[in-house]
Structure 1
Amino acid sequence: MPILMNNNQLKQLNLNKSDALTFHPPKGLFKIVYQALILPNLPEPFHYLNFISLIGQPRIPICYNASAITTTAIDTATVLVASSLSTVGHLKSYSAKEQCQLEQDRYQFLDVDHIQVDFPNYYFKRDDEEFSCQLKVNIGTDIENHSALQWGVGDYWYVRCQCEGEITYKKQKYQIEAQGILKHARAIYLPFIAFHFFTYQIIQVNADFQIILSELRNQWNNIIFSRIEIQSNEQHSVLYDHQVIFDVSRVYPKVQTPNGRDMYLPREFIWQYSEKDEVVFQLKAQSRGDYKFGLAAGYVGSFHYQLLWGNENYEGTGYCEYIDCRPLHWQEKNKTEQIIDQIAHFQPYLCKK
């Protein structure tokens, strides 16, 4: 998407960190608000933890969860708190107007889900009989990315963070301490935008080394962007956004979402980036099969990986968001047809690689 504002421009505009990293409520034209805390590398039995709220249902296929709508699409708020553990109540749905109190830096969803900011600390709480958590998040690094969409229709930021707190699962308590990502976005309630495939994956290799992998496709299966972002305290950040390959080599049997959509979820997949016919980055992943529905129109889960980058080998676990709203004839394409997809096509005017 066209980036009109980045970290350097924030400094030029004299925006300090606390002003930039605000949790805004729905207000005025900005009726869609998204927030996410993601911890991608927790010890067993969790493997990962997310705390994701979406206020309003955008007119975008990958974001629209009809089964969660309680009153109207714009009045629907959802909160997803999930891990690798088996749960049934990880997704909660609310009426934003009747059941939520939404203020700047403070969100409350009935007496179940709470988000509050006392900068530089962010607090997340779920109070539920099956799965509860109380988390404190601290932002100690610079803003990783702060961008605005063209014509002021939305903005977005994310930052690396440190989290500590307590998780209660079926009355058993666990103390956790981990690194992760904190994100916030807001947007105008736009007309229909045909984004039909999205995956977003995070690997916390160690305390100082984090990788974000993401791909977005439109209704014709054209790639809007496919990128690998590498953040490290020891070196400059690295972005690969050309000639990035994401390929699903094996899938699970077809599933049907609560919205009635058929979807294939990845069992094994790879990410690869090459320069001058030499592989620079290659990640091979195997899903744990712990997918849970509730991330907008799709699923979240975790995976094992083997990574080659910079002539070094790594292995561990990662976090995956996966939404595939393409018709099945796109999902079931053979390799030859997938190669044809790499041919450049016109892209929607709001976005670019």
Structure 2
Amino acid sequence: MSLLHRAAPLVVPAYLRTDRRLAASVTPFDRTDLFRPHLASRRWAWTHFGIFLPDLPAPYRFLNTMTFIGATGTTCFDDDRIAAPDARNTALVLSATAHADQHHHAGYDAATECSFPDTGPLRWGDDLTVEVELPHVRVAGRYATFEVDVELTTTDQASWFVRSPAYDHVSLLAPYRATLRHGATEQALEGLGTVEYARCFSPQALRRRPLPGWAKLPFDFFTYQIVNLDPDTQVLLTDVRAGGATACRLVHVRTRGGTAEVYDDVRFEVTEWDPEPRRDPAGRPMRVPRRMSWTVRDGGAEILRLDAEVDAPYRYGHGTGYVSAYRHRTTWRGEQRTGSGYLEWVDRRQDAAGSATQASLRDQSSAASSSVTTRDGSFSRSLS
């Protein structure tokens, strides 16, 4: 166990005293300094642009566009197999649905393969273009097995996961229209999505090579889930931990044309684990849930209960973890709702997988010589 991991139960609560996310989450969004890539910055080591459509009709279930610009220097999110020659130039794209082989996971060298100006389109190779001119956001994905075009209009309802001097992470409620194409099939879509942005300090900004494991920030558990309760109401459910300390356990509820709410009296529980851990491309195992539940209380009264059962494939590439979809049964302020939800899951806690953790230790020697193919197989990098 690293020194950073042992220090987390003291450091995380102290850091959270600088956070203003609760007040910001019920205040209309008016920030003009965000949604910039900061590629050359050594203050903001990494940024994240995310566009999520959480409840598409079957067989798609969801469409995510999850990106990083810069290595994060964290346990959960750094897949060092795809690090650029200068890790600070590492860029990542994960875009997937639950259908067939619609799964694009790729690493890029931002210095030679991408274009990240402070204003204008952001481009990850020839695969993804994102244009942000708030309130308008446009996404064009041209992947090997599917293509997507999405247009979103953000609202001023902002849900903050972190709002501090060293880290900003925000989600904007955003109605969308989209087109998804694969083969001869074209699917028109519309609904309620979310546009997200983060920027953060990290010790990785001081070093070209990826930080060694002991020096990475010990964020070792992350789940983020999105549920649309009806065409106008969206729920965001978040649980993030570092070395046993809770960094963020919140539920945000926002309504199109209505209010934004945030709750911190939240309980999350995995009620049944999948019997088989998932293995990433390097062979590392990760325990994943089959069933889980969320409970939210306000003033002592239970206002939300969500029970979920994962029923879609787990897609690798959310940092070192996975995305999927689930069916849910939810009670929100006494009313029953059912539907589909979007799931992100990364669990790198040392005791997370029991015997699977021991398997991970056995796999390290073979994984260290493995290679990863990025984009459509045009090149690969081997670990040394």
TM range (shorter): 0.7 to 0.9
Aligned to 1:231: 254
Provide Cα deviations, 1:286-342, integer angstroms capped at 9, x if missing partner. Answer: 101311000111000000000112111110000000000012x34449xxxxxxxxx
8 Å CA contact retained: 1:216, 1:223: yes
Q: TM-score, normalised by structure 2?
A: 0.77
| Alpha-carbon distance between aligned partners in 2 of 1:16 and 1:243, rounded to the nearest angstrom | 28
Residue 187 of structure 2 corresponds to residue 174 of structure 1 = yes
Deviates more, 1:228-237 or 1:128-137: 228-237
The secondary structure found in structure 2 opposite 1:90 is strand
CA displacement 1:110-163 (0-9 Å, x = unmatched): 2221111233211111112311111111113343448532xx323222200011
Match of 2:310 in 1: 287
Residue 154, structure 1, aligned to residue 177, structure 2: no
The residue that corresponds to 2:228 in the other structure is: 204
Match of 1:107 in 2: 122
* CA shift for structure 1 position 180: 0.9
CA distance in 2, matches of 1:119, 1:224: 29
Q: Calculate the TM-score normalised by the size of structure 1.
A: 0.83
* Within-5 A mapping of 1:118-197: 118-145=133-160, 148-149=163-164, 152-190=165-203, 192-197=216-221
Matching residue within 29, 36, 47 for 1:33: 47
CA distance in 2, matches of 1:289, 1:232: 27
Change (3 A) 1:275 1:34: closer
Q: Is structure 2 residue 263 aligned with structure 1 residue 250? A: no
Alignment equivalent of 1:52, drawn from 45, 66, 69: 66
Alignment partners' CA distance in 1, 2:343 and 2:125: 28
CA shift digits 1:36-87 (9 cap, x unpaired): 0011011122111011110112111111112322434222111111111122
CA deviation string 1:222-258 (max 9, x = no partner): 4333222222247643322135233342324122212
What is the number of equivalent residue pairs in this alignment? 325
Q: Cα offset for 1:25? A: 3.3
Structure 1 residues 56 and 287, CA gap change in structure 2 (3 angstroms): same
Gap change, CA 1:270 and 1:148, over 3 Å in 2: closer
- Cα distance change, pair 250–144 in 1 and its aligned pair in 2 (3 A): closer
- SS of 2:87's partner is coil
What amino acid does structure 1 have at the position aligned with 2:170?
W
Alignment deviations for residues 80-122 of structure 1 (CA, whole Å, 9 cap, x no partner): 1111112265112110101011112421122221111233211
Give the deviation of 1:7 after TM superposition: 4.0
Partners of 1:290 and 1:56 in 2: how far apart? 28
Contact 1:247 1:271 in 2 (8 A): no
- Equivalent AA in structure 2 for residue 26 of structure 1: L
- RMSD (CA atoms): 2.6
Indicate the SS of the match to 2:126. Answer: coil
8 Å contact kept, 2:238–2:251: yes
The correspondence for 1:42, drawn from 19, 43, 56, is 56
Percent of aligned pairs with the same amino acid? 20
Contact 1:227 1:244 in 2 (8 A): no
* 2-structure distance, mates of 1:233, 1:162: 8
